[in-house]
Structure 1
């Protein structure tokens, strides 16, 4: 080492101190530009009432807010808190709210695939059918295509909820018992069930319990038994019909497109993980609850329509599907996918399909 290149310990520390101080100063100067930025704030409204939202979305949003570490915060609102459920889509499109968790059917999304959101009769048997249909059978691409034609709304992700059963004040043991039954249900489910004499009633989600108590409706065809107990409907109805018209509700997350574009990529990824977390929570929460409450629940008496009779309802769904397929080319493509999927599941046999 030459004399010129030698450096004493004192000189090294002195130079290191200058370098460190300079870096610290630069860091201090740079920090306000990052920390001083205004956090992104979203208002997200779910279709679910407060007690149900505790399960179907709140844990996921709480986790997002924690991990986002101040860069973004999502304020969660429950059914009808900011706007009525039927106006959710338009409110999101206009930027009144930033994001939504709902099915297309109940919030009247102006797309032809909206009829398949919520409960499309006999489209699914189990909750796992939904993510498979979207991720392996092409529904994801069709939903993206449909929403690309809608101004300022971005469809983000679909997942499954519970099956669609009746919980009522009157016992249902035959198709005859459906005649004149006034129930709170989804638009498409109501449209299908009306051929059997069911009278669909459209009221706000949070009014359903009181509507049963006042006699305005005879019950709900809205959920599975887990939801009946969770939201209090099991307290005001007496019977639960074990037959269902579909095995899983299809719901989605949506965002105002302009607000979604403002979100940095790493927070978009975080929100995707958040939606996946929400989907996963519901998979096990509903699946376990449906069985446990049928066996151990003490508020609702189980009733059933004999399979020989119920097959008339299953058969009617074939005609219903054919009618929906005629409404648009895209609807026809969805119906074809559902038929193909059902065929694969039937051929696969147990545990994919029993009987």
Structure 2
């Protein structure tokens, strides 16, 4: 009887320990996500890698993100489809570049003159209602919209000087789809090349310039080495970009990991905001590679007026687009009324 009892106790103890150990082993199985950004490796070092490194450090064995740069897994134009079907778990991009099939795609990247300063973007999303619209639109297509943030303003960086609207005619320019659609009325010819090939395309004359970024990015990725001029007039004060995730993958995460991921991405938005803001002034004044040119304010005012006509054309396409356009109108009108420092002219 004693022997039997001892065997029972020993067996039960071992069985109980094994049963308790099994969930612990499962908990140590690290979740791995694949994430691709629109940015090439040189730019990605600043606009996304710090956030991924921070998340990986904080998440530890619970979860790790493997980061890929522009076109490394799939072409940028296929990012949405790859994320939607789960080939990629997470994406950093604007809606426009990744060919999102939503009603808000046209507003991603640089929607002409929708913003004047980088702070306009988080204000529009977090305080003026755009966040809820984006979340709803992406939920319809099985994608989680995590957050939106601002990047740099959009300027022309060219091989030849631009000092009037007439100088834009015939220029082959690497730009975003919606920006290209707007600029085509000035006879700009939008050209699409892989992001990492832009510098070579500038050097060989395949393109005459870019309308893709500001001074910070141009100097960081080497485009300032291949071009000569920087037009101080811009068609938008800040690029609108986002973090997205496959909805199933997102829902599989614990609330803790979801919060941690969202927090790290919010920190990334903040980091980019001051990094770009400081860089724009520094490189224009100290860069030394790009000569600054300008189109007279009176002539450029016509471009701003044309942008409002473009807004109305977009707003007429659907109810959702009309809602977004109205928010842009109301916000900018409020900033104009508020005056300095929100708007100077």
1:197 to 187, 198, 215: 187
1:105 is the counterpart of 2:96: yes
Which residue is equivalent to 1:244?
234
Task: Please say if 1:69 is aligned against 2:97.
Answer: no
C-alpha separation in 1, matches of 2:18 and 2:337: 66
Alpha-carbon deviation of 1:58?
0.2
Structure number with greater Rg is 1
- How is 1:36-51 mapped onto 2 (pairs within 5 angstroms)? 36-37=26-27, 38-51=29-42
1:86 aligns with 2:77: yes
* Offset of residue 107 of structure 1: 0.9
The correspondence for 2:305, drawn from 307, 315, 331, is 315
* Residue matched to 1:339: 329
User: In the alignment, what sits opposite 1:57?
Assistant: 48
Asked whether 1:157 is paired with 2:134, we answer no
Q: CA RMSD in A?
A: 1.5
Equivalenced residues, count:
331
Correspondent of 1:230 among 205, 220, 224: 220
SS at match of 2:117: coil
After superposition, residues 202-281 of structure 1 pair within 5 angstroms as 202-281=192-271
* 4+ residue segments displaced more than 3 Å: 25-32
* TM-score (norm. length: structure 2): 0.94
Report deviation, 1:267. 0.5
Aligned to 1:128: 119
Match for residue 162 of structure 2 among 164, 169, 172: 172
Q: Distance in 2 between matches of 1:53 and 1:338?
A: 29
Task: Show CA shifts across 1:106-126 (max 9, x none).
Answer: 111000100001000000000
State the match for 1:289 in structure 2.
Answer: 279
Can you give the 5+ residue segments of structure 1 that lack an aligned partner in the other structure? 1-24
CA displacement, residues 14-33 of structure 1 (integer Å, 9 cap, x when unaligned): xxxxxxxxxxx989974552
